[in-house]
Amino acid sequence: MLSNTKDPGGTGSSIDDVAYLTRADHRIPTLIALTVRPRSRSELWELTGVSSSTIRRTLREFEDRNWIRRDGYQFEATQLGAFVASALAEMIERVETERRLRDVWRWLPGEECGFTIEMCSDAVVTVADADDPYRPVNRFTSLLRETDRFRFAGFDVALFEPCKDELCRRIVDGMQTEIIDPPRVARYIRSTCPELFSEALESGNLTVRLHDELPPYGVGIFDRRVAISGYDPDSVTVRVLVDTDASEAREWAESIYRSYRRQTPTIPLETVAE
């Protein structure tokens, strides 16, 4: 547990050391770099972009804390330094994940369904913005082009309208597809691209299942990745797409998909086409 109590060595508190490391941008990268391999002072100077005198002072301060050792002209992290650097790297990664999700988290699944922020740690997070409102949809389209099997459950897949033509073409070209969506989706897609949709149905590669009470997010399962999409009900637009190849996220997505699939019959093709 992080303590504010000064240690017996008289070097200040643990919070003092954390504050020391974060007070200058170059200190954490320097310590982490020295856990990878030994480096000279000039290498560290080039790596961090600070002055040689700053690097010299930083290395001296690291040595005073027993975080690094000198071997001739090179420096390397001690076990103590590596222990600190590992924790810092993890903390930075966690904060970077949180910052990517901070403004869009409310549109993603909640803890009540088993979704956790840890599933997003290595994910590609694509957020819509004023300059490019279709960024999540474009990312979704790129994932469609890289898969031979696609499954989707959740809010209306028609919200991905800019990629509906691509979806239909991929189905016609052989992509095995199963969609669980609100009852209105088939009629909507058919009305906006009737020829492509009819061709997709007739290809035998598309299965449609209808469900009235789907979650307020989307779960897309591709060959190698899963994608969780969140939309803003006020603007009725896809605001974020989180895609990952993490096994934990895939297990969660498969579980969510199965739970809705069990509740839905396959609807006859003539019903969709009416």
Neighbouring C-alpha atoms within 13 Å toward the C-beta of 63: 11
What confidence tier does 83 reach under pLDDT thresholds 50, 70, 90? very high
Q: Give, as one character, the DSSP assignment of residue 204.
A: T
CATH of the domain spanning 14-96? 1.10.10.10
Q: What percent of the chain has a predicted confidence (pLDDT) above 90?
A: 53
CA dist., res. 241 & res. 157, Å (int): 13
Asked if 14-96 and 103-273 have one fold, the answer is no
pLDDT per position as a tens digit, 113-144: 999 998 988 899 999 888 888 899 899 999 99
Q: Where are the alpha helices (DSSP H) in 173-268?
A: 184-192, 194-202, 247-261
Q: Do 261 and 153 meet the contact criterion of CB atoms below 8 Å apart?
A: yes
CA dist., res. 118 & res. 111, Å (int): 11
pLDDT of residue 157: 59
With helix as H, strand as E and coil as C, how does 27-73 read?
A: HHHHHHHHHHCCEEHHHHHHHHCCCHHHHHHHHHHHHHCCCEEEECC
**272-258-268 Cα angle (round to 5):** 20
Domain ranges of the chain: 14-96, 103-273
pLDDT per position as a tens digit, 171-226: 889 999 998 887 766 566 666 666 666 777 778 888 888 787 888 899 999 999 99
Mean per-residue pLDDT for 29-38? Answer: 96
Query: Which has the higher per-residue pLDDT, 148 or 236?
Result: 148
Query: Among 196-200, 239-243, 265-269, whose mean pLDDT is lowest?
Result: 265-269
| Structure tokens, 47 | 């790596």
Q: What pTM does this model have? A: 0.75
For domain 103-273, which architecture applies? 2-Layer Sandwich (3.30)
CA dist., res. 117 & res. 14, Å (int): 27
Strand partners, 180: 153, 209
| Structure tokens, 1 | 């547990």
What confidence tier does 146 reach under pLDDT thresholds 50, 70, 90? very high
Residues 6+ apart with CB under 8 A from 114: 252, 255
